[in-house]
Amino acid sequence: MKTIISLSELHATRRDLPGPVGLVPTMGFLHAGHISLVQRARSECASVVVSIFVNPTQFGPGEDLAKYPRDLPHDLALLDAAGADLVWTPTPEIVYPPGFQTWVEVADLTKGLEGEVRPGHFRGVTTVVAKLFNGVRPDRAYFGQKDAQQAAVIRRMARDLDFPVEIVVCPTVREADGLAMSSRNTYLQAEERQAATVLFRALSAAKSAYERCERDAETLRRIMREAVTVEPLARLQYVSCADYETLEELETVKGKALLSMAVYLGKTRLIDNVILE
């Protein structure tokens, strides 16, 4: 496994990689969720490239950029074991050199949910992913379903801008008690960690109701709200029952839909979702 920092060395190395090339973009501090993406890429591609970059432009003011967890040696050991071929770890100065001023923005899909409570977040995501696509030129790129809106936004961006990249969205990997894997879980105090299962419990309760043929979206949202309310350590930010493609809030669930939520446990903000189909 080769590790590269500069963009010019990335371009030079990329030229010699056999295709198809799979890209797994990450912000590091890797967990089993990331590794599942690497394994999926490994099983489908001749070459697997992983990027590790804590992207400053997707953090809002007051968000946790400075204290975002990092452990590059551990990340590299995990990626080596998972069979990655190339790891790109650029610095912020390489990705955003002086004078940088170009942004890629998806308009409608970024208005609600995470986009509403984290203004500018998706502009940072789509811009850095566009740069990764141009730098690595992958044939396929792998993203986790845990960031459901991000996956929808990137699918849209790739389609709209004609990137010749297949976007592969992989299932959320969960701890034994249902908590979705996230680098931010490391922030949780012991009691908060226990309480954090409330997201999956709330989503599961609403999904069960759906499977019992409940189709009223507001009822599903109420079930999630009530499940979070009974957990004293949890503070609900939003719940959503939205169309899977457009992410518009539903009145009645008809086609494929997305149940999603954001919840604070203390100062730690967690998101999770399940798909209804």
Nearer to a copy of itself, 61 or 73 (CB): 61
b/e map of 231-254 (b: 16 or more CB within 10 Å)? bebbebbbbbbbbeeebeebeebe
Closest approach, Cβ 46 to a copy of itself, in A, equals 17
Please indicate whether residue 31 is annotated as part of the active site: no
What is the smallest separation between the CB atom of 109 and a copy of itself, expressed in angstroms? 7
Q: Which is nearer to a copy of itself, 50 or 224 (CB)?
A: 50
Nearer residue to a copy of itself within complex by CB, 121 or 137: 137
Element (H, E) at 48: strand 47-52
Kindly list the strands in the beta sheet with 234-243, ordered across the sheet, starting from the edge strand earlier in the chain. 234-243, 257-265, 268-276
Smaller CB distance to a copy of itself: residue 126 or 268?
126
Closest by CA to 122, choosing from 106, 134, 102, is 106
- Residue 179: Cβ-neighbour burial (10 angstroms; 0-12, 13-18, 19+): buried
Q: Which letter does DSSP use for residue 67 in this model?
A: T
Q: Closest CB to a copy of itself among 82 and 257?
A: 257
- How far apart CA 121 and CA 62 sit, in angstroms, is 12
Residue 247 Cβ, how far from a copy of itself at the closest point, in Å?
12
Q: Phi/psi of residue 65, each to 5°?
A: -60, -50
Whole-number minimum distance, CB 173 to a copy of itself, in Å? 29
Site of interaction with a copy of itself (CB under 8 A): 7, 11, 99-109, 126-127, 130-131, 134-135, 137, 156-157, 160-164
Of the listed 31, 34, 74, 121, which one is catalytic?
34
- 32-44 and 72-82 helices, crossing angle to 10°: 40
Measured from the CB of residue 133, what is the shortest distance to a copy of itself in angstroms? 8
- Tokens 């949202």 correspond to 221
Write out the catalytic residue numbers. 34
